[in-house]
């Protein structure tokens, strides 16, 4: 927020009672952490929520009742009717009809659609298959520590112990992100299907996803094969990607240039490459997209939604800013 010069008069940080009383220092400034209660939202313009679903379901409606616009990064309200699910580069118009609550999409969905949506605008999307390669930071700080510890243990000949994941993640792949559902898909895979339909406004879109946790610290990657209504043209597809805000084309295989998570950590745009005609679909394109799931897949997208609202005069001065 500070790095993007968001127009804020005052920033307030709220957390659970356990964290209240601590301080967070950023850019030479100390920000005290207060306990989040319903009363603290009175007089605020925007609240950026990044708590668990149960906390969000309790506090977010109470914040809205007090006149605060809530932009929520959890999955609590994403599929609720009347709650906009927003990626500003894709469906900004939907945010303008908010009723005090706006949802931020799942990280893998956000990254995938930064490559897929420009092609949908050009050729008309019918269906797509996606395989995700999701970094461990998506599971939190404990998962980062687990990958680091297991890598060191393997290098020193020690047994690799797992606490965060059911199996070792170092030098391994886990085709298991979130809980399994009755149909064999995971909840993460269901999110990609349902959220893609809502964001792109294609209610009958057909999606099949396999979400995989990989031994990468940061930035998710997604391999996508998509079928379209119209005949596809790869050069036109490349132009569409390169001209789409928030994405950049990295597609020079002759020089081994393609997006990689190592080079898209802590970067604003998502990288799209390996564009080619899909040999299984009559009108198909396969591609590879990489993005920082902690930025575009979470915090950055949340702030971009706040920027969108502010630029269109739909909120006051800024995020968690006092009106007093």
State the SS3 of 169-216: CCCCCECCCCCECCCCCEHHHHHHHHHHHHHHCCCCCEEEEEEEECCC
3-class state of residue 270 by DSSP? strand
CA-angle at 92, arms to 89 and 98, nearest 5°: 145
The span from the CA of 169 to the CA of 162, in Å, is 8
The span from the CA of 202 to the CA of 185, in Å, is 21
The span from the CA of 13 to the CA of 271, in Å, is 32
Task: Please give the structure tokens belonging to residue 296.
Answer: 């575009």
Residues 6+ apart with CB under 8 A from 79: 85, 194, 195, 198
* Residue 86 burial by Cβ neighbours in a 10 Å radius (0-12, 13-18, 19+): buried
Active site positions, annotated: 107, 220
The span from the CA of 87 to the CA of 158, in Å, is 44
Do the beta carbons of residue 164 and residue 139 sit within 8 Å? yes
Packed helices 187-200 and 107-123: angle between N→C axes, nearest 10 degrees: 40
The span from the CA of 233 to the CA of 223, in Å, is 19
Do the beta carbons of residue 210 and residue 112 sit within 8 Å? no
Task: Please give the structure tokens belonging to residue 242.
Answer: 């390169």
């Amino acid at each position: 927020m500070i790095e993007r010069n968001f127009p804020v008069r005052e920033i307030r940080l709220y957390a659970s009672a356990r964290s209240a009383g601590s301080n967070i220092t950023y850019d030479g400034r100390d920000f005290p952490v207060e306990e989040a209660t319903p009363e603290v939202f009175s007089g605020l313009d925007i609240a950026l929520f990044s708590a668990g679903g149960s906390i969000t379901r309790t506090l977010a409606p109470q914040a809205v009742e007090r006149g605060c616009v809530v932009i929520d990064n959890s999955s609590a309200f994403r599929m609720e009717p009347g709650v906009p699910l927003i990626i500003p580069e894709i469906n900004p118009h939907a945010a303008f009809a908010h009723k005090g609550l706006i949802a931020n999409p799942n990280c893998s969905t956000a990254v995938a659609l930064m490559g897929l949506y420009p092609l949908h605008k050009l050729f008309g999307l019918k269906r797509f298959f996606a395989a995700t390669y999701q970094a461990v930071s998506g599971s939190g700080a404990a998962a980062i520590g687990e990958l680091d510890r297991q890598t060191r243990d393997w290098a020193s000949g020690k047994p690799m112990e797992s606490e965060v994941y059911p199996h070792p993640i170092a030098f391994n792949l886990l085709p298991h992100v979130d809980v399994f559902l009755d149909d064999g898909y995971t909840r993460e895979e269901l999110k990609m299907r349902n959220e893609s339909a809502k964001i792109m406004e294609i209610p009958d879109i057909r999606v099949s996803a396999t979400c995989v946790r990989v031994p990468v610290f940061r930035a998710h990657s997604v391999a996508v094969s998509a079928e379209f209504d119209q005949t596809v043209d790869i050069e036109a597809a490349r132009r569409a990607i390169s001209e789409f805000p928030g994405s950049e084309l990295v597609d020079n295989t002759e020089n081994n240039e393609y997006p990689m998570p190592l080079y898209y950590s802590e970067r604003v745009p998502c990288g799209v490459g390996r564009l080619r005609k899909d040999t299984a679909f009559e009108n198909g394109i396969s591609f590879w997209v990489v993005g920082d799931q902690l930025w575009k897949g979470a915090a950055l997208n949340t702030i971009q939604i706040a920027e969108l609202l502010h630029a269109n005069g739909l909120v006051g001065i800024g995020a968690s800013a006092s009106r007093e």
